[in-house]
Structure 1
Amino acid sequence: MARWDPDAPERLASAALDLFAERGYENTTVIDIAQRAGLTKSTFFRHFPDKREVLFGGDTVATLTAAAITAAPPEATPLEAVAHALETLGAQTFTPTRREFSAKRWTVIAATPELREREALKGLGITAAMIKALTGRGVPALTASVAAELAALAWKIAYERWHDPTSTAGFGELARQALTEVQAASALC
């Protein structure tokens, strides 16, 4: 591939994921990733601060989640607003074309403690963004926290189900189903 081909971040993420799966995270360098993508080390660092972040996309998902909560219909309850956000993410981010990448990403993260830690921190950031967006809609802080935590759990369940190779359902559908299940289970506690 020529160095000027578009989608450098996507190419770098794909190359990194392949290398992490082949060699392990610890045995892969930024130079390895850039070379596999047909790019330079400086191009890598224009898009990502380090090799770990190539799999996490900065705060893009948190920003999209907050924007979708804000854009939910004004009459939406807190759980309806987070459900709207999860469905929006399914349409924008967790598309069928990303399913294979996501499954491979999940496997690499599960095998690497440093990446599991980063994934957990990313999840906390997304939950915080949901809380902030809900309180921005006038939802009381405690209610916003509970709704965001339930949504985070539903997200985790939906994500696990979505990247399962036997699954054919879309992320938005799985997220809505998981949120309903989590809400029902919380009523039993």
Structure 2
Amino acid sequence: MGRWDPDAAGRLREAAMRLYVERGYEQTTVADIAGEAGLTARTFFRHFADKREVLFAGSELLLARMVEALDAAPAADGPMRAVAAALAAAAQVLGHDPEFSRRRQSVIDTAAELRERELIKMVTIAEALTEGLRRRGVPARDASLAAEAGIVVFRVAWVQWLADAANPDLGKLMAATLDRLTTVTATH
């Protein structure tokens, strides 16, 4: 395939994932990824800022969908129901390809800089959800607590979803995890 063939970003993403799993993240270069995809390093940099961003492409879409869902929740919904709507949106964005997500997470787990980038993504989402809840009139402390609780639910459900190939519905798992949080906090 030539460098102008369609879906260069997808080819680069898949090549990077293959190489990260086979060789390791640290041992893989941008030139390796581009070569594996049949493209040039210059083409790589048209799509991604660096080799780390191959794993985080789409974070902006995830954030936008979560905030849109939170904003679209009925005005009468309390903070956690609005956060539940954001979690459902996250599941719609992320829940389509569990095998890719498992491979991606296995790569992230191997490198401190990737784990740090993942944590930064979660903080960014929590901040955006907090702001969204504040726009809904939720007091700052409650907005922060609800948003952070939502991130905990997101992360716990995500790990369970990745670990259990028999449970393909991330949305149901997020909802069940939120229900479980409600149960756990009610029985403290």
When normalised by structure 2's length, the TM-score is: 0.92
- Alpha-carbon distance, 1:116 to partner: 0.9
Ranges in structure 1 where 5+ consecutive residues have no aligned partner: none
2:65 pairs with 1:47: no
CA shift in 2, pair 1:5/1:71, >3 Å: farther
Please say if 1:163 is aligned against 2:152: no
Give the corresponding residue for 2:75. 74
Change (3 A) 1:135 1:6: farther
Contact 2:20 2:107 in 1 (8 A): yes
Question: Over aligned residues, Cα RMSD in angstroms?
Answer: 1.6
Q: Which amino acid aligns with 1:156?
A: R
Does residue 152 (structure 1) correspond to residue 182 (structure 2)? The answer is: no
Q: How far does residue 187 in structure 1 lie from its aligned partner after superposition?
A: 3.0
Q: How many residues were matched structurally? A: 187
| Cα distance in 2, alignment partners of residues 9 and 165 from structure 1 | 29
Task: Write out aligned runs for 1:19-168 (5 A).
Answer: 19-57=19-57, 58-91=59-92, 93-96=93-96, 98-168=97-167
Counterpart Cα distance in 2 of 1:127 and 1:46: 29
Which residue of the partner structure matches residue 7 of structure 2? Answer: 7
Change in Cα spacing, 1:133 to 1:9, as seen in structure 2 (3 Å) is farther
Separation of aligned partners in 2, 1:165 and 1:38: 34
Question: Which runs of 5 or more structure 2 residues have no equivalent in the other structure?
Answer: none
Q: Judge conservation of contact 1:78–1:134 (CA < 8 Å) in 2.
A: yes
Write the distance in 1 (CA, Å) between the matches of 2:6 and 2:133: 36
TM, length-normalised to structure 1: 0.91
8 Å Cα contact 1:161-1:167 kept in structure 2: no
Pair 114,75 (structure 1): closer, same or farther in 2 beyond 3 Å: same
Q: 2:155 matched to 1:186?
A: no
Shift of 1:165: 4.5
**Alpha-carbon distance in structure 2 between the residues aligned to 1:6 and 1:70:** 35
Give the corresponding residue for 1:176: 175
What's the secondary structure of 1:65's corresponding residue?
helix
Q: Which amino acid aligns with 1:59?
A: E
In structure 2, the residue matched to 1:16 is 16
- Per-residue Cα deviation, 1:8-37 (whole angstroms, up to 9, x for no partner): 322222211111111111110111111222
DSSP-derived class of the 2:84 partner = helix
119-128 vs 160-169, which deviates more?
160-169
Identity of aligned residues (%): 44
Q: Secondary structure at the match of 1:59?
A: helix
Runs (4+) of structure 1 exceeding 6 A deviation are: none
Deviations 1:98-141 (A, max 9, x none): 11110011111111111111111111111111111111222111
The whole-number CA distance in structure 2 between the counterparts of 1:67 and 1:36 is: 37
